Amino acid sequence: MAVPATDKNSARFLRVPRLALKHREAVEAWLFVSPILTGFLIFFLGPLIAVFFYSMTEWNLLTQQAAFVGMENYADALSRNPDFWHVVRNSLIFAAGLVPLNMALALTLALALSRPFFGVVFFRAVFFAPVVTSAVAWAIVWKFLLQNEAGAVNQILAVVGIDGPNWLREPDWAMAAVIVTRVIKMVGLNMILYIAALQTIPRDYEEAARLEGASNWQIFRMVIWPLLAPTTLIIMVITTIGSFKVFDHIYLMTGGGPENGTLVLAFYIYEQGFKFFNVGYASALAMIMFVVVMVLTIVQLMLRRKDMQ
Amino acid sequence: MTSLTLSNLEKRFGNVEIIRGVDLTIKDGEFVVFVGPSGCGKSTLLRMIAGLEDITKGSLYIGDRLINDVQAAKRGVAMVFQSYALYPHLNVRDNMGFGLKVRKVPVEERQRRVKEAAAALKLEALLDRYPRELSGGQRQRVAIGRAIVGNPQVFLFDEPLSNLDAELRVHMRSEIASLHKRLGNTMIYVTHDQIEAMTLADKIVVLHDGRIEQIGTPRELYTRPGNLFVAQFIGSPKMNIMPAAAITLKPAGREVGTGAAHSIGMRPEHLSVVAPGEGMLRGKVVISEYTGAASLLHVALDNDETCLVTHDGPAPAADTEVGLEIAIENLHFFDREGNAIDGKAIAEPAPLP
Amino acid sequence: MTLTVRQIRTLNRICWTISLLVVAIPFVFPFLWMISSGFKSATEIFGQPSLIPRVWRWQNFVEVFEYQPFARQYFNSLYIALAVTALTLVFSSLAGYALARMRFAGAGLLMLFLISALMVPEEVTIIPNFFLIRWMGLMDTHSPLILLPVFGPHGVMATFLMRQYFLALPKELEEAGKMDGLSRLGIWWRIALPMSRPALAAVAIITFLFSWNLFLEPLVFLSSLELFTLPLALSNFTDAYGLPLWHLQLAATSLAVVPILGVYLIAQRQIIESFALSGVKG
């Protein structure tokens, strides 16, 4: 790069040669992103590639033996291990219960709380409070509340004459309990997203519809709901992905039980990997989870792009 | 020595050519205005000089120093931005002193220079305010103050007055003019407003589509525009352009040939209304717009062209037949490519065929 | 019977408020019950239910600290969350700034690369990360609890949030800084960051809570009691048979949750907005 100072009668060649501004900017930019990028490569991309290779090994930490087995782990999961389909079923039930309940409640609360009125700040704060609370604390308290006879929930039910079930000891009730307590924990987030979306809808639309004689329900059905559609789609995908990632909640409330009734994918991966040390099999499960979540995310990004156009 | 030399400067964004080879010399202490319609590249050119855009091709010298790859801050230039770009989190004093602080100028020196600049711009009372607490005109002044404080060799102004209302704009214009007189620095000023260009500039550079159309003093551009674009861009209302073939020039009753001219330009303010049948042109008034100082007549000529005329005194009513007269030295001739032709060569009496 | 429009509106509002109060019960009740039970004795907890403890047993809160090194664990959570927050703020705003403002070859590819991180739950990479951390000799230390959140999907999300905010800042201010002689780093530090306080606050809030509430990573990487973080410690109040010691567990949970709730109540508007911002972007 150096330009020798051969032209002695011209000062302009005495200048210290340096990078062109454009290249300098590029070097600086890479320096700026380098911390994140380095960490990302080491703790994220590397492990992601590694998990793919692990998934093709039979590797048990206890016996310290590893062998390449190709797609055996996947075949194992998909066709031989009955647990896997049980887990898939549970995960789908969990999602199918959680997502509609969460979204319906979030939207209802958002509609009620999107306009200022006395107490609106209080209610928003209340419905959002569980979001900032640790999932561990939340699960512990609900586990306490949902005990069979000593639990506050059943004691309150007894007051009104209902004999409540042993919530966390019966598979179906346990699933229901986990879903509902998870919804209460997370619904505030979707509520906030819905409120934000509702507040961007100009009131003119609603007022125009009202002048034309539309009822509240008609206004919602024919004006608000269609305008919320992009938000609804995004919330749906985010919530679905979130439902597949639930781990701590299950771990602490039910431990996947009873009778594996709440054994969902994230928990199953943890159990296989860190309890039974089936590294290969757990990695295959992780890859399956990765693909599911990736597909959902790509769908979300596509929806979002369409929404932006 | 703070002359500037731009030689064959080019700027590309991807495949889009913004600046297509600009050659320009700016003398020490000159006030140069870049003017042109939006998108002509005038701001890009200024930003290339400032060091905010890198130079795709060509070379840029300040004095003898090639500065293509010198960082903005080390070029000895200061810039006043269109939006003023005052730091919202700093008060006026810190805004003005920011550059000195970055350059590690000692505190006392810094304070002295900020104070001087503030005094010169009547900003002393505002030094502790934040930008959001200032009016548009005050912000503008702070932005200029910030430029002065750094003692730059060259001042750059990027449409500095376009966010001000009309009255303030006139006022700040005169302040900038007196600033130039006082400091005597080289200044480069970008605007799309030709009045600003005409009033401020020692030298105007008319840009169009990334190229220089013409360089000259305001008077030169007005009286001898080099081509059709400049002719129509400088002057308000716009110069009337007509096909040469459509007009017969009869100054003082003598018929004159138009020679190689393809079109002829006449400024509205140079045309005067005479009795129908007299003068060079003849037409009918379509509308007359009263503007206060004068009236602007839209005259439909016999040859179907419409011609604008600035007219003092009582305006003729619509549908009035009028004649139009113009002094022969005020005619502008252009060839087929739109370049100006020297009028003297043409406006000689045509030899009879 | 006819009602005026005003009466209908008032009635409507009362109905809504009552319904909202009813819905609010399962949101509030667990907190109240948690705190109240934290004051009860082991026997009262299983006795007749009552929101107000018959005997306020302050002793629980002493025993919490005797049962395991709870103060130490509390401090662990706090300093780890602060470290994660500080590092995330620095790295995400640096990278976010470059992605928003600087032109460089490979920027598009890098973005795509980083976006892919948003897709992958921690559960997917936890197994190889376990081996990585073990190989680095960092098992049973706090390092993985700091490194993984900062450089994982959460850090990337923070980067995009910052980028989005930087994109909306007026560019001329940074150019003015450049003319004033600031380096890129100087522009980032002295112009871009001071103007991005809302975004920095949002990132700080969600990052702090993210780290504070982290469970899977501590569970996988920690084994010494005195290194535990709060979520892990909370799940650890059990008797010799592994059954929960509810009165201690709930007292400890109260100690962990109440300060956060207190801060939340004071700054709830800011905190909710932070989540809205990150939810919309991420």
Domain boundaries, chain B: 4-232, 239-346
Residue B253 pLDDT > 70? no
* Region B178-192 average pLDDT: 93
Q: Which two tokens stand for residue C158?
A: 């923070």
B 234-253 residues inside an 8 A Cβ radius of C: none
Of A10, A11, A20, which is closest to B69 when you measure between CB atoms?
Answer: A20
Alpha-carbon gap: A248 to the closest alpha carbon of chain C (Å):
7
C10 neighbors C212 (Cβ within 8 angstroms): no
**Confidence band of A37 (pLDDT split at 50, 70, 90):** very high
C57/C45 Cα distance (integer angstroms): 11
Handedness of CA A7, A12, A14, A19 (dihedral sign): negative
Q: Do B54 and A20 touch (CB under 8 A)?
A: yes
* Region A281-304 average pLDDT: 85
B88 neighbors B130 (Cβ within 8 angstroms): yes
Which single residue is written with the structure tokens 């045509």?
Answer: B350
B63-102 pLDDT, tens digit each: 989 998 888 888 889 999 998 889 998 999 999 999 898 8
Provide CB contacts within 8 A for B50, sequence distance 6+: B72, B75, B77, B79, B156, C175, C179
**Confidence band of A122 (pLDDT split at 50, 70, 90):** very high
A100/A94 Cα distance (integer angstroms): 11
Residue A1 pLDDT > 80? no
Q: Does C81 touch chain A (CB under 8 A)?
A: no
Q: Do A12 and B64 touch (CB under 8 A)?
A: yes
C220/C224 Cα distance (integer angstroms): 12
Q: Do C151 and A40 touch (CB under 8 A)?
A: yes
Q: Does B40 touch chain C (CB under 8 A)?
A: no
Q: Do A43 and C132 touch (CB under 8 A)?
A: yes
ipTM score for this prediction: 0.89
B311 neighbors B298 (Cβ within 8 angstroms): no
Residue B290 pLDDT > 80? yes
Q: Nearest 10 degrees: CA dihedral of B101, B105, B109, B112?
A: -30
C50-67 pLDDT, tens digit each: 778 888 888 888 888 988
Which single residue is written with the structure tokens 């607490």?
Answer: B133
Q: Do A131 and C275 touch (CB under 8 A)?
A: yes
Q: Do C30 and A138 touch (CB under 8 A)?
A: yes
Q: Which two tokens stand for residue B351?
A: 């030899």
Confidence at residue C215, expressed as pLDDT on a 0 to 100 scale: 93
Burial class (CB in 10 A: 0-12, 13-18, 19+), B319: exposed
Which single residue is written with the structure tokens 């598979």?
Answer: A171
Alpha-carbon gap: A304 to the closest alpha carbon of chain B (Å):
28
User: Which of B145-149, B256-260, B271-275, C228-232 shows the lowest per-residue confidence on average (mean pLDDT)?
Assistant: B256-260
**Confidence band of C132 (pLDDT split at 50, 70, 90):** very high
Provide CB contacts within 8 A for A231, sequence distance 6+: A193, A194, A197
Q: How many CA atoms lie within 13 A of A105 on its CB side?
A: 24
Q: Do A144 and C37 touch (CB under 8 A)?
A: yes
CATH class in words for A80-308: mainly alpha
**Confidence band of B256 (pLDDT split at 50, 70, 90):** low
**Measured in Å, how far apart are chain C's first and last C-alpha atoms?**
52
**Confidence band of C256 (pLDDT split at 50, 70, 90):** very high
Provide CB contacts within 8 A for B332, sequence distance 6+: B225, B231, B239, B264, B265, B266, B340, B343
Single out the residue of C98, C65, C82 nearest to residue C142, CA to CA. C82
Looking at the DSSP bridge assignments, the partners of residue B210 are none
**Confidence band of B280 (pLDDT split at 50, 70, 90):** confident
Write down the CATH number for the domain with range B239-346. Answer: 2.40.50.140
The structural domains of chain C, ordered by start, are 30-68+237-267 (no CATH), 79-232 (1.10.3720.10)
CATH of B4-232, one of 3.30.910.20, 3.20.20.140, 3.40.50.300, 3.90.1150.10: 3.40.50.300
Residue A7 pLDDT > 80? no
Which single residue is written with the structure tokens 């560019």?
Answer: C171
A58-111 pLDDT, tens digit each: 887 777 777 888 888 888 888 888 889 999 999 999 999 999 999 999 999 999
**DSSP reduced 3-state for C63:** helix
**Confidence band of B353 (pLDDT split at 50, 70, 90):** very low
Residue B349 pLDDT > 70? no
Q: Which two tokens stand for residue C172?
A: 């001329």
User: Which of A94-103, B300-309, C31-40 shows the lowest per-residue confidence on average (mean pLDDT)?
Assistant: B300-309
Instruction: Say which residue, B163 or B30, is predicted with more confidence.
Output: B30
Residue ranges of domains in chain A: 20-68, 80-308
Provide CB contacts within 8 A for B164, sequence distance 6+: B136, B137, B140, B172
Provide CB contacts within 8 A for A80, sequence distance 6+: none
B266 neighbors B331 (Cβ within 8 angstroms): yes
Confidence at residue B255, expressed as pLDDT on a 0 to 100 scale: 58
A144: nearest CA partner in chain C? C246
Q: Do B66 and A12 touch (CB under 8 A)?
A: yes
Q: Which chains sit next to A, with 3 or more Cβ pairs under 8 A?
A: B, C
C51: nearest CA partner in chain A? A152
What are all long-range contacts of B288-292, with beta carbons under 8 Å and residues at least 24 apart? B288/B315, B288/B316, B288/B317, B288/B318, B290/B315
B66: nearest CA partner in chain A? A12
**Confidence band of C44 (pLDDT split at 50, 70, 90):** confident
Q: Does B150 touch chain C (CB under 8 A)?
A: yes
Q: Do C179 and B88 touch (CB under 8 A)?
A: no
Confidence at residue A19, expressed as pLDDT on a 0 to 100 scale: 65
C 202-221 residues inside an 8 A Cβ radius of A: 209, 212-213, 215-216, 219-220
